[in-house]
Structure 1
């Protein structure tokens, strides 16, 4: 793929590409969230109807058998920064796909697990991250992958969230009141994690240090704006 999405983290351009294998409810929700966030994502499934459904949503939608190494090679899968294996009930296909991705040298692999035993197998064969749909919503996983500065994401509603964001060098040494975060961005810092310390409801004169973890709450659009302009 030649099309790349470029984000800026601490003044450094970071290029990322994503691929989602399996377009069921879980994989589909990840694809939709990537698309909503302006990400470049390739959607892969062996079901033509599902691929057609996401052809207008994903950057690229491809019909293919992920258990066929030749197919994945032809798609240039090793060039993707993150591949999500969201295959449904076929545990064998999920495991085989993960093995092939590891052998092809994919940098980051997140796999949907059906149960704890499936998770153990996936971790043993080299999956970088294993998620359970009942515990981890596709939207939360997608938002965590998008930015290096976002550590965790909890959706409160369709438009509001609580997010953990790593403070960059750009705001090191500035106080909350100096940054005027609430007035400029409409979000609130509800806590700061600093080493082993947690500062709850920090005062306006609290100084932010690089690598502090800021726990912010607000509208998704405002949080994204804060992250892009300040971090």
Structure 2
């Protein structure tokens, strides 16, 4: 893959892309509206700039249409992600990859013409779940700077509740990709799956979210 890259959004996902591309010798423009994040990548990316990418004039001033590939890695602000992608398309950027945070986000991105859409958390979850059938979970703990996997032992207070009762995704941004029950690993999970005492939940998520989850689990452990 040749050419220049621009990465918009320097959270863990976008930041890891910047680091990997830069490490492999590519020219990378790193963009974020947060000054602290931009400063972090000044010595890593070819160029780092503070910018509001929902402003068409700002993107024009950056010469964004001259980049071969733009990655929109904006995290929680779906509106900013969609508007940025729309402007990039209107400016004629050759190839646009966008991080989607949910299915609705993906649907809108497809309608406005994003070239590639990725669900880092979901896609990694599928990879892990498939790997569990033939490999030890420990092979997959060190995923990236963006995501990690933890095994959570089900406590008395968690037992006999369903996955939807626990609601770990909306509360902590964490996805249960498998349940280990004795020698069995269950990966085709339904929302009404009942958790049993002694089970282990295999959970994937961003590191900060998993830290919050683990702190909460420790508080309620029986």
Residues 71-82 of structure 1: pairs in structure 2 closer than 5 A:
71-82=58-69
State the SS of the aligned residue for 2:97.
strand
Hey, what does 1:129 align to over in structure 2?
116
| 3-state SS, counterpart of residue 6 of structure 2 | strand
Which of residues 71, 81, 96 is equivalent to 1:84? 71
TM-score by length of 2: 0.55
How far 1:36 sits from its partner (Å)? 1.0
The answer to whether the aligner puts 1:112 opposite 2:87 as a matched pair is: no
User: Could you say what secondary structure the match of 1:117 adopts?
Assistant: helix
Question: Of residues 1, 4, 8 in structure 2, which corresponds to 1:21?
Answer: 8
Indicate the residue corresponding to 1:144 in structure 2: none
SS of alignment partner, residue 120 of structure 2: coil
Please give the per-residue CA displacement for 1:141-198, whole angstroms capped at 9, x wherever unaligned.
xxxxxxxxxxxxxx9989xxxxxxxxxxxxxxxxxxxxxxxxxxxxxxxxxxxxxxxx
- Structure 1 or 2: larger strand share? 1
- Structure 2 residue matching 1:83: 3-state secondary structure: strand
Hey, what's the Cα distance between the residues in 1 that align with 2:42 and 2:50? 10
Structure 1 or 2: larger helix share? 2
Whole-angstrom distance in 2 between the partners of 1:101 and 1:136: 25
Number of equivalenced pairs = 128
Name the SS for the 2:71 alignment partner. strand
Q: 1:40 aligns with which of 14, 17, 27?
A: 27
Looking at structure 2, the residues matched to 37 and 156 of structure 1 have their Cα atoms a distance apart, in angstroms, of 24
CA shift, 1:135, in A, is 3.6
Aligned counterparts of 2:4 and 2:26: Cα–Cα separation in 1: 8
Tell me the residue number matched to 2:55: 68
Deviation at 1:112, TM superposition (A): 0.4
Report the 3-state secondary structure (helix = DSSP H, G, I; strand = E; otherwise coil) of the residue aligned with 1:18. strand
1:81-129, Cα deviation, whole Å (9 max, x unpaired): 0000000100000000000000000000000001011001001100000
Residue 101, structure 1, aligned to residue 75, structure 2? no
Structure 1 length-normalised TM: 0.53
CA RMSD of aligned residues (A): 1.9
Shift of 1:133: 1.6
Supply the distance in 2 between the matched residues of 1:96 and 1:16 (Cα, whole angstroms): 24
State the distance in 2 between where 1:134 and 1:92 align. 20
Q: Structure 2 CA distance, aligned partners of 1:136 and 1:42?
A: 26
Q: 4+ residue runs of structure 1 moved beyond 2 angstroms?
A: 155-158
